Amino acid sequence: MNDSSDHEIPSTNPELPNAQPAVAGGVKKAPDGLSIAIVAWLVPGMGHFLLGRKGRAILFFIAVGGLAVVGSVMRGNVFPPRSVDPFGTLGFLADAASGVFYLLARVFERAGPDVSRAAGDYGTRFIAAAGVVNLIGAFDAYEIATGRRR
């Protein structure tokens, strides 16, 4: 039997557990979890914003953006895409995880990193932390989009 109720998307409204938002011609599809995760990675908080979680969207944008901007102001090292050192590659992956803020840091890194001082070294950690926080946000948005989390 081809029963369409087997493929319905559960409602996120706790008062109406099986309610489906209606659109012309059928049931509205939930956003794809992978596309939400990619958008959330590229622009911190955007995945939550598209899912209607504006409070979380603002928090993730401010947290990731704040860490990246403070790290850049402290002249932290923004790792390049290619490195012969495995720690340089790991640093690049952590930095690139901050999405658009990594690209902005690469563009605005005029004076270069200053890791000779403690501030520059801490700045490097702030930039990497921005990427880690953004990955947490992207995974959270994915979990919400797939219905595993509210």
- Domain limits at 109? 29-145
The model's pLDDT over 97-106, given as tens digits with 9 standing for 90+, comes to 988 888 887 7
Q: What is the Cα–Cα distance from 43 to 63, expressed in whole angstroms?
A: 12
Nearest partner of 102 among 141, 63, 56, 64, judged by Cα: 64
> Residue 122 pLDDT > 80, yes or no?
yes
Q: Note the pLDDT of residue 107.
A: 76
Are 79 and 69 in contact by the 8 Å Cβ rule? The answer is no
- Top-confidence residue, 122 or 118: 122
How many structural domains are present in the chain?
1
d(CA 150, CA 142): 11
Provide the whole-model pTM.
0.71
Does 43 map to a domain? yes
Domain for residue 63, yes or no? yes
Q: What is the number of other CB atoms lying within 10 angstroms of the CB of residue 44? A: 30
Lowest mean pLDDT among 15-29, 105-119, 120-134: 15-29
Asked, for residue 24, whether it belongs to a domain, the answer is no
**Between 121 and 95, where is the model more confident?**
95
Mean pLDDT along residues 138-146: 93
Q: Is 107 exposed, middle or buried (0-12, 13-18, 19+ CB in 10 A)?
A: exposed
Q: Does a structural domain hold residue 13? A: no
Whether residue 11 lies inside any domain: the answer is no
Position 20 scores a pLDDT of 44
Give the model's pLDDT for residue 124: 85
Helix (H) or strand (E) holding 18: none
DSSP per position, 27-81: EPPPPPHHHHHHHHHHSTTHHHHHTT-HHHHHHHHHHHHHHHHHHHHTT-----S
Residue 132 scores a pLDDT above 90: yes
Residue 112 domain flag: yes
- pLDDT (tens digit, 9 = 90+) per residue, 38-79? 999 999 999 999 999 999 999 999 999 999 989 888 888 888
- Mean predicted confidence (pLDDT) in 140-149: 89
Within-domain flag for 22: no
| Cα–Cα nearest to 75, from 108, 129, 114 | 114
What's the average model confidence in pLDDT over 14-32? 51
